[in-house]
């Protein structure tokens, strides 16, 4: 019987404190102005502890972005069998539950790297879905995917910048209706 190694809860709490401190600082000032000492002080850990888990602040940012994009990937049905509207609600719930991260990444002008990666992530996943459906359309799949990605990211940015004035369920439903109305995806039966 294979045993799964357990992760020390102290390590998890320390990484969470470092992450939270970094995101708070990122929301307050430019990345270039943030130091490892700033992160360590805010997280209430020593500088060496930050370096134990991350090479530098850029590594920390990259890992945060990768972790959250991988979590979003988990909501996407690779077979294309799940209606897209069913995938939207978990995405909005995830964004709500990780408001600190998405707020820091999307509500400042400093977040160009994350916005670009999110656009690419959404575009690639939508294009895969469109290609798998093999439906005939007058609209090129690449252009359609770019349109959907831009609309989705723009709507999420608005939602975050306005402190999430609507619940995730409403946002998922409204986005789906916009996609249907604009014939982004064929109507589901």
pLDDT, position 6: 73
Q: What is the mean pLDDT of residues 27-45?
A: 93
Which is more confidently placed, 154 or 7? 154
Which is more confidently placed, 89 or 51? 51
Helices (H), 75-139: 84-97, 99-106, 112-133
Contacts of 103 (CB under 8 A, 6+ apart): 27, 160
pTM: 0.73
CATH (residue range 1-54): 1.10.10.60
Q: For the chain, how big is the Rg over CA atoms in Å?
A: 19
**Which class for 75: exposed (0-12), middle (13-18), buried (19 or more C-beta within 10 A)?**
middle
Name the one residue in this structure whose structure tokens are 């602040």.
57
- What is the C-alpha to C-alpha distance for residues 85 and 12, in angstroms, rounded to an integer? 33
Query: Which tokens go with 54?
Result: 């991350």
In the chain, residues under CATH classification 1.10.357.10 are 58-181
Q: Is 164 left (phi over 0), alpha (psi -120 to 50) or beta?
A: left
Using one digit for the tens of pLDDT, what is the confidence trace for 94-139? Answer: 999 999 898 888 876 666 778 888 899 888 888 887 777 766 778 8
In the chain, residues under CATH classification 1.10.10.60 are 1-54
Q: Is the dihedral of CA 73, 78, 80, 83 positive or negative?
A: negative
What is the CATH T-level fold of the domain 58-181, as seen in this structure?
Tetracycline Repressor; domain 2 (1.10.357)
Under a CB-based contact definition with an 8 Å cutoff, are residues 26 and 34 in contact? yes
Using one digit for the tens of pLDDT, what is the confidence trace for 69-99? Answer: 888 878 765 565 665 667 788 889 999 999 9
User: Does pLDDT of 62 surpass 80?
Assistant: yes
pLDDT, position 189: 47
CA terminus-to-terminus distance, the chain: 46
- What is the C-alpha to C-alpha distance for residues 115 and 36, in angstroms, rounded to an integer? 24
Of 122, 74, 69, 125, nearest to 98 by C-alpha is: 69
Of 152, 27, 142, nearest to 84 by C-alpha is: 152
């Amino acid at each position: 019987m294979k045993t799964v190694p357990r992760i020390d809860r102290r390590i998890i709490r320390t990484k969470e404190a470092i992450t939270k401190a970094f995101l708070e600082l990122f929301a307050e000032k430019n990345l270039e102005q943030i130091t490892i000492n700033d992160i360590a002080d805010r997280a209430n850990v020593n500088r060496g502890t930050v370096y134990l888990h991350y090479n530098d602040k850029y590594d920390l940012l990259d890992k945060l972005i990768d972790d959250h994009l991988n979590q979003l990937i988990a909501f996407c049905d690779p077979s294309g069998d799940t209606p897209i509207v069913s995938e939207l609600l978990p995405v909005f719930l995830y964004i709500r539950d990780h408001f600190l991260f998405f707020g820091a990444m999307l509500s400042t002008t400093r977040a160009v790297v994350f916005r670009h990666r999110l656009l690419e992530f959404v575009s690639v996943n939508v294009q895969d879905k469109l290609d798998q459906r093999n439906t005939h359309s007058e609209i090129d799949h690449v252009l359609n995917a770019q349109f959907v990605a831009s609309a989705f990211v723009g709507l999420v940015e608005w939602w975050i910048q306005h402190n999430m004035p609507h619940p995730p369920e409403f946002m998922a439903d409204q986005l789906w209706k916009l996609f249907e109305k604009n014939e982004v995806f064929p109507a589901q039966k």
